[in-house]
Amino acid sequence: MRLRATGKLGELCSESSVPVLPAKEKVIGFRRLQYAVYRRGLLKKGVLPTTTGWVYLTSDRILMLDEGWTPRDGAQWKTFQEVLFPEVEWVRHQRLTVWIDVAAPDGKYVVSFLPYGPAARLFGWLQKEKVTRRKYAAGELESAYAKERWYRHPPK
Q: Per residue in 3-22, pLDDT tens?
A: 989 998 988 888 888 899 88
- The pLDDT value given to residue 154: 59
Q: For the residues 113-120, what does the mean pLDDT come to?
A: 74
Q: Is the pLDDT of residue 64 over 90?
A: yes
CA dist 86 and 133 (Å) reads 10
Work out the pLDDT band at 151, boundaries 50, 70, 90. low
- The pLDDT value given to residue 144: 64
- The pLDDT value given to residue 83: 93
Q: Which domains does the chain have, with CATH numbers?
A: 2-138 (2.30.29.30)
Q: For the residues 112-120, what does the mean pLDDT come to?
A: 76
- The pLDDT value given to residue 102: 93
Ramachandran assignment for 117, one of left (phi > 0), alpha (psi -120 to 50 degrees), beta (any other): left
Which regions of the chain does DSSP assign to beta strands (E)?
2-8, 27-39, 46-58, 61-66, 70-72, 75-84, 88-94, 97-104, 107-114
Please provide the average confidence, as pLDDT, over all residues in the chain: 85
CA dist 96 and 116 (Å) reads 8
